[in-house]
Amino acid sequence: MADTLPATVHLVGAGPGDPELLTIKAVRLIRDARLIVHDGLVSDEILALASPDAELISVAKQRSRHSMPQDAINALLVRCALAGEAVVRLKGGDPFIFGRGGEEVDACRAAGVPVEVVPGISAAIGAAAQAQLPLTHRDASSAVTFVAGQCKGLTDQDWSGLAGKGRTLVIYMGVATAAQIADKLIADGVSPGLPVAVLENGTRADMRTLRTLLADLGDMVEREAVISPALIVVGEVTAHALAQDVLVGWAQRQSNGAEMRS
Amino acid sequence: MADTLPATVHLVGAGPGDPELLTIKAVRLIRDARLIVHDGLVSDEILALASPDAELISVAKQRSRHSMPQDAINALLVRCALAGEAVVRLKGGDPFIFGRGGEEVDACRAAGVPVEVVPGISAAIGAAAQAQLPLTHRDASSAVTFVAGQCKGLTDQDWSGLAGKGRTLVIYMGVATAAQIADKLIADGVSPGLPVAVLENGTRADMRTLRTLLADLGDMVEREAVISPALIVVGEVTAHALAQDVLVGWAQRQSNGAEMRS
């Protein structure tokens, strides 16, 4: 038995990058924290909100070594809390949208550690706002799905039916595999002519929003030298975005192709 | 031509209800606003952040009359902005997840009115955090989809393939049609034994999280007198939530049914 009562672990979403897109609650917890365990998606500007006395532990990928395995992160959170040290576990975006927050919550609860989750603006929701790209739209989409391009193996994932008419598919972490993603969707029956947008550096000042058609996605990512982090949005809603059309002939297709919006 | 330059319309997500889940940017815009056009999902606590001098216009449903039609809201925003009045258009959750923000952006851009969108914590993301219900989970789901139970006609909507093994389906505004939703999903091939959770009053102090199986969803909503606003989450991830199991025999199924989590 520990001598002290376990402290609480707060899993806190740090949002998409812009510190103004933190929630009030996240700012309060970051400012009051004595110990912050954060990953690489959390920007320096956000970490700068922490007290100078706070201890910051990064579990991010370093140049020469891998990121801390998830089991080790879980164990670290539990060990600190059982020793009576409250932990703010700061994660990019939202803890429950590809943040592996579920596993950390499971580990805390299994160890009898109190845990609370503070939601954050997920990367796609932040980037879509800045690009003026409605993820749902009365005329174009009544369902929006989030998947991850590098969550488990891409080929192991079943995305059938998630993209197409009346649906929006958002792919996180898909830039490196953009060509395979396009092939996978087309093999699943998605039209090669469906518009797609790529949102690079979402919510940052240097954000780029590029638009093309699904069949061109892989080539476009290479041609335009898109870098991570970036999101891929597949669906008719992308026609509404503020975006740079990078497929030759796009403008003509759009002006002729009223059926794409209907 | 107008005598003045058009002012900017800010479409601002007010999050799921708890004022601490507003973003820093939303608070700043609400405090500085001279004119706020808001809908009924925005709580009084949040409206109280506005300056006493600010004009507040509600486009919400009133007791005895319908809410303002979307076209009239669009026209109001454009008219104010063209007259030089900056508008904060405050919407529950996120403007682009069933917020009809896309139509308001379209209307502003068509009228030459500058528009900016500030994302918010969508209801499902806020409620899931509080219920400790991971919307994605390495062991249970690699795709999460948002749909709306009252967005257009329920029967007109195609939800095939959105729920099932390895997928999470979140239904907004589905309480009134919960029984039809269960029938619809089962008719589409979803297992009647798939666990579902209902999150009532998400992020509020009186939030309830109830869990049962899909086949019992309609009865359960009636039996437990679930009221709007509430979200329905369909999928294996609900097994991880902090929830009250309201189906007799659930505990036994869970302890026997390791396959539900694998």
- Residue length of chain B: 262
CA dihedral A119, A124, A127, A131 (to 10 degrees): -130
Interchain pair A121, B126: CB under 8 A? no
A167-200, pLDDT tens digit by residue?
Answer: 999 999 999 999 999 999 999 999 999 999 999 9
* pLDDT at residue A257 is higher than 70: no
Chain A hits for B231, Cβ within 8 Å: none
Higher-pLDDT residue of A27, A258? A27
The confidence band for A3, taking pLDDT boundaries of 50, 70 and 90, is low
Q: Which of A27, A74, A91, A121 to mutate to test the interface with B (most CBs of B within 10 A)?
A: A121
Q: By the 8 A CB rule, do A30 and A49 touch?
A: yes
Residue A241 pLDDT: 96
Which positions of B are annotated as active-site residues? 39, 61
* Beta bridge partners of residue B211, listed in sequence order: B197, B245
So where are chain B's domains?
A: 9-118, 123-260
- In the predicted structure, residue A33 carries a pLDDT above the cut 50: yes
Q: Give Cα separations from B121 to A16, A68, B81, B196 (angstroms).
A: 12, 29, 26, 22
CATH class of B123-260: alpha beta
Cβ–Cβ contact B261 with A under 8 A: no
Task: Kindly give the confidence (pLDDT) of every residue in chain B, 262 residues in length, as a single tens digit, with 9 standing for 90 and above.
Answer: 546 789 999 999 999 999 999 999 999 999 999 999 999 889 999 999 999 999 999 998 654 456 789 999 999 999 999 999 999 999 999 999 998 999 999 999 999 999 999 999 999 999 999 999 999 999 899 999 999 987 557 888 899 999 999 999 999 999 999 999 999 999 999 999 999 999 999 988 899 999 999 999 999 999 999 999 899 999 999 999 999 999 876 655 555 554 444 3
- The crossing angle, in degrees rounded to 10, of helices A24-32 and B24-32 is 120
- Between A21, A130, A137, which is nearest B102 by CB? A137
> Is A91 noted as a catalytic residue in this protein?
no
Chain A residue at shortest CA distance from B25: A20
CATH of B9-118, one of 3.20.20.80, 3.40.190.10, 1.25.40.20, 3.40.1010.10: 3.40.1010.10
Where would I find the beta strands (DSSP E) of chain A? 9-13, 35-38, 55-58, 87-91, 115-118, 141-148, 166-172, 195-200, 208-213, 230-234, 244-245
Residue A183 Cα distances to A152, A162, A229, angstroms: 18, 14, 21
Could you tell me the two tokens for A135?
């993820």
Say whether pLDDT at A15 is over 60.
yes
Same fold, B9-118 and B123-260: no
Terminal-residue alpha carbon distance, chain B: 64
Residue A165 annotated to the active site: no
Q: Closest-CA residue in chain A for B97?
A: A136
Where do runs of H (alpha helix) occur along chain A?
24-32, 44-47, 70-82, 101-110, 123-131, 178-187, 217-223, 250-256
Beta pairing partners, A7: none
Residues 214-253 of chain A whose Cβ lies under 8 A from any Cβ of chain B = 237, 240
* Best CA proximity match to A68, nearest among A29, A32, A100: A100
Q: Which residue is catalytic, options A25, A32, A61, A152?
A: A61
> Cβ contacts (< 8 Å) between A239 and chain B: which residues?
none
The confidence score (pLDDT) of residue B155 equals 83
